[in-house]
Amino acid sequence: MINGKTKVLGLIGDPVEHTLSPVIHNTLSDIYEGGESAVYVPFPVKRGGVEAALKGAFSLGIQGLNVTVPHKSAVIPFLEDIDPMAKAIGAVNTLVRGDKGYVGYNTDATGFIRALKAFGKPVEGKAAAVLGAGGASRAVVFALSSMGVSEIYIFNRTPERAAELAASLSEYAKDCRVYSGTYDEISTLYDREFFVVQCTSVGLAPDIEGCVIDDGEFFANALWGMDIVYKPAKTQFMKRMEAAGKPACNGLSMLLYQAVDAYEKFMGTTVSELLALKAGARLQLCAGVADPIVLIGCMGSGKTSVSNCLKKLGFEVLDADAEIERRSGMTINRIFEEQGEKAFRDMETGLLKELSGKAENGFVLSAGGGMPVREENRELLKKIGKTVYLRAGVSTLCRRLEGDTTRPLLAGGGLKAKIEGILSDREAVYMQTAHEVIDTDDMTAEEIAVRILSF
């Protein structure tokens, strides 16, 4: 809600038209309950225009600004103060209003640290291989040096750029060994435990087949990898990692957490993990990397409630049962009574065939409870998107389905025995169909929705 107390936040850069920052900040502001309201807008500022832009922003009472290309370093002389790590990096991306001007931070670095923690892989005492030596690698290597890694290897196509970055990092992180070289030298790592952060722009959409390293041995020797590119959702680098059996994640969480860190600084608040991930869900949608999702599970497992949460975040939900009722003009109970179960199952298969291969960014199918029973349907469901089995125990299902008269398979009383029977028939097929299983007994629908979309 915009009112007389609303704070203005924004982004300065050139160009700014394609930025995803407003999506994250405005979502955080929308869903942040109990705080002051804020609105986030992009401001195009040409090269050479930062001094005037900062003066104007301060005069207008603008609370905070993000800074992007080409101003991340150019803005530094005009700040009231600068955070020590941002100073060492030589670039800022976040300006917070101080008494007489703005204070600069680098939340690309702190956001990367938070993303790495969310990925959950240990870095302490390990060697880090950083691919690339551009602006983003700068923030990444300084962040890594503060996380207890034993050594940092910076590889780059242009070795001089890697050497220059290694020299400035060595100055700052005196107890971390830093090396630099070209990709021809990566085999020097193979005798130690190392993880990889991919910081080049190779593999970024639309050139999605690119990967800066070709050597299969590299992936076989690495512990795990993070690609800071986030589009496509699964980059070629990640595919190569996963093909070698190594965990890999993309850069969307870094993008999210640099914004969350900036928002916390702008507003002097703390954003809970649930709120951050809700903003992350909107971000996936707006970045065009929200791969289709299929919710499977027994009746009462929460598919509808979870779908409703996803709908609120902007996802397009198709409920298979409701769609069949709409198309046939009959309730499921009536289809069962007049045409029999087989006719209903045929309708389900027909619907899945229509959807297979056509589902896009942000699509969610809430599957019928019995859909995965047919083998043909299991394959179709898996083709439509990431299948998530919402698993619930008998007592949870009984509690949720008590008094429900819309389910033909539950007609005639003896709810607990019927649910036990359905579960014993279907548990194995749900497991065969699922790409991911979530135990939902102790979770709210919102928590489940966010878990499905977490990175």
Enumerate binding residues for ligand NAP (CB under 6 A): 108, 132-137, 156-158, 161, 199-202, 204, 212, 228-230, 251, 254-255, 258
- Of residues 67 and 202, the one with the C-beta less far from ligand NAP: 202
Considering the complex, what minimum distance in angstroms separates the CB of residue 38 from ligand NAP?
A: 21
Cα angle: 236, vertex 198, 359; to 5 degrees: 40
What are the backbone dihedrals phi and psi of residue 93, each rounded to the nearest 5 degrees, phi first?
-125, 0
Among the listed residues 245, 142, 158, 257, the one whose alpha carbon sits nearest the alpha carbon of residue 197 = 142
Considering the complex, what minimum distance in angstroms separates the CB of residue 231 from ligand NAP?
A: 8
Considering the complex, what minimum distance in angstroms separates the CB of residue 95 from ligand NAP?
A: 17
Considering the complex, what minimum distance in angstroms separates the CB of residue 207 from ligand NAP?
A: 9
Task: Check whether the bond before 232 is cis (ω within 30° of 0).
Answer: yes
Going from the C-alpha of 194 to that of each of 123, 186, 342, the distances in angstroms are 9, 11, 55
What is the Cα–Cα distance from 79 to 165, expressed in whole angstroms? 24
CB neighbours (10 Å) of residue 223? Answer: 16
- Of residues 135 and 225, the one with the C-beta less far from ligand NAP: 135
Going from the C-alpha of 60 to that of each of 21, 54, 63, 258, 287, the distances in angstroms are 21, 10, 9, 25, 31
- Of residues 133 and 313, the one with the C-beta less far from ligand NAP: 133
Q: Pick the catalytic residue: 5, 55, 72, 246?
A: 72
CB neighbours (10 Å) of residue 1? Answer: 8
- Of residues 45 and 228, the one with the C-beta less far from ligand NAP: 228
What is the Cα–Cα distance from 244 to 233, expressed in whole angstroms? 18
Considering the complex, what minimum distance in angstroms separates the CB of residue 251 from ligand NAP?
A: 3
What is the Cα–Cα distance from 242 to 417, expressed in whole angstroms? 42
231: annotated active-site residue: no
- Of residues 168 and 349, the one with the C-beta less far from ligand NAP: 168
CB neighbours (10 Å) of residue 237? Answer: 26
CB 159 within 8 A of CB 133: no
Considering the complex, what minimum distance in angstroms separates the CB of residue 134 from ligand NAP?
A: 2
Considering the complex, what minimum distance in angstroms separates the CB of residue 292 from ligand NAP?
A: 23
3-state secondary structure of 228: coil
CA torsion 265-267-268-273 (nearest 10°) is -80
- Of residues 159 and 302, the one with the C-beta less far from ligand NAP: 159
Question: Looking at the DSSP assignment, which residues form a beta bridge with residue 247?
Answer: none
CB 85 within 8 A of CB 106: yes
The residue number with the shortest CB distance to ligand NAP is: 134
- Of residues 262 and 355, the one with the C-beta less far from ligand NAP: 262
Residues classed as catalytic: 72
